[in-house]
Structure 1
Amino acid sequence: MPLTNIANLFGRSPIKPIKEHMAKAHEASAGLVDFFAALMEGDLSAAETAQKHISACENRADDIKRDLRLHLPDSLFMPVSRSDLLELLHAQDEVANTAQDIAGLAIGRKMQIPAPLQAMMTTFVDSAVATSAQALRAINELDELLESGFAGREVDIAQRMTEELDELERKSDKLEVEIRAALFKIEKDLPPVDVMFLYRIIEWIGDLADRAHSVGNRLQLLLAR
């Protein structure tokens, strides 16, 4: 009998809500694409709509997290520990939280992205969201990993996915350096407070990619157990 089915004999399997949680976390991060597009078009109404969607996704992720924590048994009849799953859940949660923080700060300040930075910002946001998407794809392999007992071809697939996640995170780091340098060149022409918050937003977008990468790191730890 597959391990996931055996686990269900001893209580609800946590894998489905873990995957649902990551899906909502990624949906929150993906909302930043439309959010920044609206900001750069000067459409604050559309930006506010996108920000509310991001916040709703983060709230739903919190609901899933809370329910999973309440119902996760102290011991699992699985080749993973309760503490490992909770660490994975925390890493996923940081993706949703960071996306919400980015949108909340930017909409709260009615932030404008300077024209010389807009193309780079679009690429940077797309890169961070791509990292989150890759983390979701990796998490969606959990069922198959459990079925295989964390062995064989499924492990190889998951390892390749996490290696691709490494590459995406490094790409995001490089883009962060480039956009910070571009902002430095024009910062003297901008209000100092706006510059300070632009640097913060850039840092947080970089953090979003880092948080998504951390999900892959937690999955790698599960594979190494």
Structure 2
Amino acid sequence: MLSASPMAALFGKSPFKPLQQHMRCVIDCVREVPPLFEALIGRDQRQVSEQKVRIFGKENEADAIKNELRVHLPRSLLLAVDRRDLLELLAMQDAIADVAQDIAGLLVERRMEVPEGITEPLRRFVARCVATCEQAHTIIEQLDELLETGFRGREVDRVEAMIVELGHMETDTDVMAISLSRALFALEDSMPPVSVMFWYQLIQWLGNLADYAEKVGDRLRLIIAR
């Protein structure tokens, strides 16, 4: 008798298929972040709200996959990797979508304006954070190849090189966040204190997108090492 659960069917093909499905949904969510900030820069609050709806919808889809995955993840020792490692990798992926949702929620709950002088640095920062998440997504798409090679050989070397590059990209976002924070600091006297506080929060959350993306790579590196 065939299983009625699509998630269970995916596990029959590969222990990584559901993780890849979840990450695809996560990256779809993150890809809505740049248009969100373009709407903010353009002072188009209606578009900001529409982007929030898209981001929340994608985050909800990721949550549904996450919950299904947790229910159907086998508890036996027949998996290619430890069950706890898979769950921790899932948690890091899911945190990316959660942060995107937090950012969108803040920009709708509190109307914010981009201070003059930080528009272009902000654009570059958002783009780099999203690119870092894209790199994590690309790495997760290699899981099937890793499984086929038994986590050995050239495929492992290739993925490890991609993880190293992911770390460099996350470091870039750290540097950009510091630079953007300094630019904001220079404008503090001309801004309402509460707005300054929320902008620092936004910068931190954007950086968290890249931070959790790097943690996806770190977690996968541990899986490979075992």
Pair in the same fold by TM > 0.5:
yes
For residues 162 and 213 of structure 1, what CA distance do their matches in structure 2 show? 8
1:77 is displaced (CA, Å) by 2.3
1:61 deviates by 0.3
> Does the CA contact (< 8 Å) of 1:35 and 1:47 recur in 2?
yes
Tell me the equivalent position of 2:57.
Answer: 56
Alpha-carbon contact 1:14-1:68 (below 8 Å) kept: no
Report what 2:143 is aligned to.
142
Q: Find the aligned partners of 1:93 and 1:190 in 2 and give their Cα distance.
A: 34
Q: Which amino acid aligns with 2:104?
A: A
CA distance in 2, matches of 1:197, 1:133: 26
Residue 17 of structure 2 corresponds to: 16
Structure 1 length normalisation: TM-score?
A: 0.93
Q: What is residue 66 of structure 2 aligned with on the other side?
A: 65
TM-superposed deviation, 1:76: 4.4
In structure 1, the partner of 2:169 is: 168
Offset, 1:112? 1.1
Q: What is the deviation of 1:107?
A: 1.7
Matches of 1:53 and 1:138, distance apart in 2: 25
What SS class does the counterpart of residue 31 from structure 2 fall into? helix
**Does the Cα contact within 8 Å between 2:62 and 2:94 map onto a contact in 1?**
yes
Q: Percent identity?
A: 45
Does 2:131 match 1:110? Answer: no
Q: What one-letter code is carried by the residue in structure 1 that aligns with 2:145?
A: E
| Number of residue-to-residue matches in the alignment | 218
Relative to the length of structure 2, the TM-score reads 0.93
| Residue in 2 that maps onto 1:30 | 31
Aligned partner of residue 117 in structure 2, secondary structure: helix
User: Is the 1:75–1:81 contact (alpha carbons within 8 Å) kept by the matching residues of 2?
Assistant: no
Aligned to 1:93: 94
Aligned-residue CA RMSD in angstroms?
A: 1.5
User: One-letter code of the match for 1:180?
Assistant: S
**Which amino acid in the other structure matches residue 70 of structure 1?**
V
Please identify, of 131-140 and 151-160, the stretch whose mean Cα deviation from structure 2 is larger.
151-160
- Distance in 2 (CA, whole Å) between partners of 1:159 and 1:97 is 26
Give the structure 1 partner of residue 6 of structure 2: none
* Partner Cα distance (2:144, 2:13) in 1: 14
Give unpaired runs (5+ residues) of structure 2.
1-8
Report the AA paired with residue 114 of structure 1.
P
SS in 2 for 1:201: helix
Determine the C-alpha separation between the residues in 2 that align with 1:66 and 1:111.
34
Counterpart in the other structure of 1:5:
none
User: Quick check: 1:30–1:129 contact (8 Å CA) kept in 2?
Assistant: yes
Kept in 1: contact 2:25–2:58 (CA 8 A): yes
Would you say the 8 A contact 1:135–1:212 is kept in 2?
yes
* Structure 1 Cα separation of the partners of residues 205 and 54 of structure 2: 19
TM-superposed deviation, 1:47: 1.2
Q: Contact 2:163–2:218 at 8 Å: present in 1 too?
A: yes
* SS of residue in 2 equivalent to 1:116: coil
| Whole-Å separation in 2 of the counterparts to 1:121 and 1:198 | 11
Superposed counterparts of 1:170-209, under 5 Å = 170-209=171-210
Task: Give distance in 2, aligned partners of 1:204 and 1:27.
Answer: 18
Q: Does the alignment pair 1:80 with 2:86?
A: no
Between 128-137 and 102-111, report the one with greater CA deviation: 102-111
Q: Which amino acid letter does the alignment assign opposite residue 99 of structure 2?
A: T
2:48/2:107 contact within 8 Å kept = no
